[in-house]
Structure 1
Amino acid sequence: MLGVLNFECILDDNDQVYTAGDKIKGSLSIHLRSPIAITGVTIYFKGAARAKWCELMDNGVRRTEIEHDKEEIYFDDRFCLWGQDANLDTDKPIVDDKGGWESFEILEKGSHVFPFLYRLPHSLPCSFEGPDTFVRYTVQGKITGRDYEVNTKEKPFSIFKDYDPHTEISFDGEIDPMYAPIEDYTEKSLGNGCCQSGHVSCSLVLDKQIFVPGENINATITLQNISFRKCGSCNMQLKQIIRCSDACPIVVIVASSKLCESLRPGQSCHWQGYEFTVPATCPSRLDMCKIISVKYCIAIDTNFDDFNLYAAVPIIIATVPETGVELARWSYKGKDMTSRGEGTISTASQASKKGVYQEAAELSHTEFAPKYKMYDYLPSQSLQDGNMVIDLQRSPGQRRRRKQKHRNGDIDGSVILEEDELSDQLDSDT
């Protein structure tokens, strides 16, 4: 509308993070270049979860794709802040016997502020944004006139809920199973028919299963390529597993750190205490949400030409750290890892000492990223390069390259050779 220069919704909380039962305080700000006739200024609050997914049905003759779209509404309220919103209680404007408006008022030129205070319901799930899924909370203002409506942009805000799995885990014995080591191992034999060309393997060990955003995951990783094939890059990934109803899960790579560019034939790598920082992300439980569930795993993914060597262990993302952990400050942060409020700025590229986090290609971009609790841990002792051991097979080509390096004096001190052992193992496999 020509008379409205600016119309926006302003929330008083700088973080714009709330918990269930909190009061949201803010205002609608209107700046007019000329007077306008209005019936009312209205504020809308909405909280809902929505999930869309496709399901393939096989009837034996053909496969049919069925689209599903579910919505779960937690609140949908609107209130008149000034004047009378004719549409507040009815679908049509209120008119008098002469066909005119029963009530309208003139809003004068200049700036106008309409404060509001809204109490959230006491039971709400945590905010969440994923591919074709979300739990989203918004506030929006509207000016209603005789033959027009002017709306603010939807103002999203975050709902946060602490998740402490210790309150629901019961166990017998002295060791909490969630704080016991967890591991996975996988291997694959290579070759075709009766001709075997060796095997590849991967093992992953974590010292515990529960983590909070900002905490370092310490992993022990071993890769072995006892074959004549070269593999591609190997990455350590934090994966988010989103499930809607009984449909196939959606997997999103929340963070990724590159372990190595490639693994040559006969080469093996071992990392002891590899650090991987948990970014700000949704906790593992969406309480009160009946259509979306969220879980996590740590995976090692190694690329070969025709397959991926894959090892993974499930983990739990909590928001309350274990008792006795020495903490620095915490603040609310979004997926861009930028600090809000107190604390130092921590960017994605600074989050890991051994690699760079990358936003997942699978994650659909939205204008809003929910904020979650993120802990600033005290600096830990940085790992040394000696924690990574590289073993090379004794092959004629590699033996010649090593002799040449000896002549040139450019042997890397971090490379440890176990040639006889690996050569014998490779010969026995082939």
Structure 2
Amino acid sequence: MLPLGRVQSLALELEDGRARSTYGSGELLRGRVRLELRGALRLRALEVCARGRAAVHWLESRSVGLNTVYCYYAACQTFLHRRCRLIPDNGEVTVLPAGRHEFPFTFQLPETLATSFEGKHGSVRYWVKAKLHRPWSAVKKAKKEFTVIEPIDINTPALLAPQAGAKEKLARAWYCNRGQVSVTAKIDRKGYTPGEVIPIFAEIDNCTNRAMVPKAAIIQTQTFIARGTKKQKKSVVTSIVGDSIAAGRREVWHGRALKIPPVGPSILHCRVIQVEYSLKVCVDIPGTSKLLLELPLVIGTIPLHPFGSRTSSVSSQCSVHLDWLSAIPEQPEAPPEYSAVVSGPEPERSLAPPCPNELGSALEGPFFAYIQEFRFRPPPLYSEVDPNPPAETMRPRCMTC
């Protein structure tokens, strides 16, 4: 009877040499299970499973009379659940000798996956787990996490469309109207990638009697959904502060630059977790609440094509029709006669140079004298016959000359 050997190490390793084990939707997940034994081992099965899911959970307290009631909210959505049996459990015991053993595995990732995410009330995680089943022993496990990035191409008509908005507010203080404040802002497109610069075009009108300071910021909104209830967490990704606007003045931003820092992409296709971005232009109004103008943003992973957003946006909204090419005749028609287009002495008068009395002394000098010598003459009538045929007595040129 073989002695029960001890497992020295059980580890998982992902192949393909990927940095930080990052994968995309629809790719192959390759790896191997490394098993090192000090002695012979009797085992029943060895399996590997790939999992990925989004999970949210939070606790809320409510007051009911004199008591406090706690409500627990939780929900999850599974994106990946694959299993591979490297040593199947067929009811018999398999004996592995001492030494190192490797068992390769491959998983096909689904076409639709959410980007890996870690938030305050939830997360999106992916991992690979190996389970070693031995008789009369606890299951030995090894776990390896990996990252998934959902591809979001910003070169689409929806994300290349310009975003604009306008908002106004009446400033009040102690039931007295202090004037009106209005904001109009526009950005070139909706989709951006980290590291890009957003040029902001805005106009801020301060019709009050107090100075105000405009600001712009990128806001990240995390939404967690469970049991029909939403929990949101907002944070400022980056911001800029404009110059102070005096009373009764207007401030114009001609493409004020706002750079996007390294942030995670938007998560839009998950039932329990959503990560959204927006550009907010706000004005601090003394004595009352802020004036906020919000423009939606989508942070993608596939950057803009080198042709630029303007070309892509125009080409996506306009279609080129080439049906008119079939209407072009093979043989061009003869041009009309000159007399059919313009008749009478009027064209000669219209084409003649103006009189010096009409133009004054500006056309005096040698240049005007040269114009006076030039006259427009009507072209000859169109004819299929060459008016100057070659002479019959002309001898052909010798090629050897």
Q: TM-score, normalised by structure 2?
A: 0.58
CA distance 1:117–1:202, change in 2 (3 Å) = same
- Which AA in structure 1 matches 2:171? S
Indicate if the aligned counterparts of 2:23 and 2:149 stay in contact, CA closer than 8 A.
yes
Indicate if the aligned counterparts of 2:84 and 2:105 stay in contact, CA closer than 8 A.
no
Q: Distance in 2 between the 1:269 and 1:63 partners?
A: 51
Q: Distance in 1 between the 2:77 and 2:10 partners?
A: 33
Q: Distance in 2 between the 1:140 and 1:155 partners?
A: 9
1:17-69: CA deviations, max 9, x gaps?
43443321111233456665443332111122223356899999999764332
Structure 2 unaligned regions, length at least 5: 310-401
Indicate if the aligned counterparts of 1:214 and 1:280 stay in contact, CA closer than 8 A.
no
Deviation at 1:277, TM superposition (A): 3.2
Alignment partner of 1:137 is 2:126:
yes
2:292 to 294, 299, 310: 310
Alignment partner of 1:161 is 2:151:
yes
Structure 1 unaligned regions, length at least 5: 87-93, 95-101, 170-176, 328-430
Match of 2:44 in 1: 39
| Count of residues paired in the alignment | 298
* Aligned pairs for 1:334-345 within 5 A: none
- Which AA in structure 2 matches 1:255? V
1:281 to 264, 278, 297: 264
Match of 2:26 in 1: 21
Indicate if the aligned counterparts of 1:6 and 1:31 stay in contact, CA closer than 8 A.
yes
1:213-272: CA deviations, max 9, x gaps?
4432111245677555887x9451242353636534624436212325x95975986542
- Which AA in structure 1 matches 2:15? L
Deviation at 1:200, TM superposition (A): 5.8
- Which AA in structure 1 matches 2:75? K
Q: Distance in 2 between the 1:74 and 1:264 partners?
A: 51
Alignment partner of 1:11 is 2:15:
yes
2:171 to 189, 192, 216: 189
Q: Distance in 1 between the 2:66 and 2:168 partners?
A: 37
Alignment partner of 1:215 is 2:199:
no
1:105 to 95, 102, 109: 95
Q: Secondary structure at the match of 2:229?
A: coil
Percentage identity across aligned positions? 19
Deviation at 1:291, TM superposition (A): 3.5
Q: Secondary structure at the match of 1:311?
A: strand
CA distance 1:138–1:305, change in 2 (3 Å) = farther
RMSD over aligned CA atoms reads 4.4
Q: Distance in 1 between the 2:154 and 2:252 partners?
A: 33
1:49 to 36, 49, 54: 54
- Which AA in structure 1 matches 2:123? F
CA distance 1:284–1:23, change in 2 (3 Å) = closer
Q: Secondary structure at the match of 2:151?
A: coil
Match of 1:337 in 2: none
- Which AA in structure 2 matches 1:240? T
Alignment partner of 1:256 is 2:245:
no
CA distance 1:272–1:60, change in 2 (3 Å) = farther
Q: Distance in 1 between the 2:293 and 2:51 partners?
A: 41
Match of 1:390 in 2: none
CA distance 1:32–1:276, change in 2 (3 Å) = farther
Deviation at 1:203, TM superposition (A): 4.5
Indicate if the aligned counterparts of 2:7 and 2:35 stay in contact, CA closer than 8 A.
no
Q: Secondary structure at the match of 1:152?
A: strand
* Aligned pairs for 1:81-92 within 5 A: 81-82=86-87, 84=88
1:269-291: CA deviations, max 9, x gaps?
654212223445324632xx434
Q: TM-score, normalised by structure 1?
A: 0.54
Indicate if the aligned counterparts of 2:163 and 2:295 stay in contact, CA closer than 8 A.
no
CA distance 1:130–1:275, change in 2 (3 Å) = same
- Which AA in structure 1 matches 2:23? Y
CA distance 1:242–1:65, change in 2 (3 Å) = same
Indicate if the aligned counterparts of 2:153 and 2:303 stay in contact, CA closer than 8 A.
no
Indicate if the aligned counterparts of 1:212 and 1:318 stay in contact, CA closer than 8 A.
yes
CA distance 1:321–1:76, change in 2 (3 Å) = closer
Q: Distance in 2 between the 1:57 and 1:190 partners?
A: 35
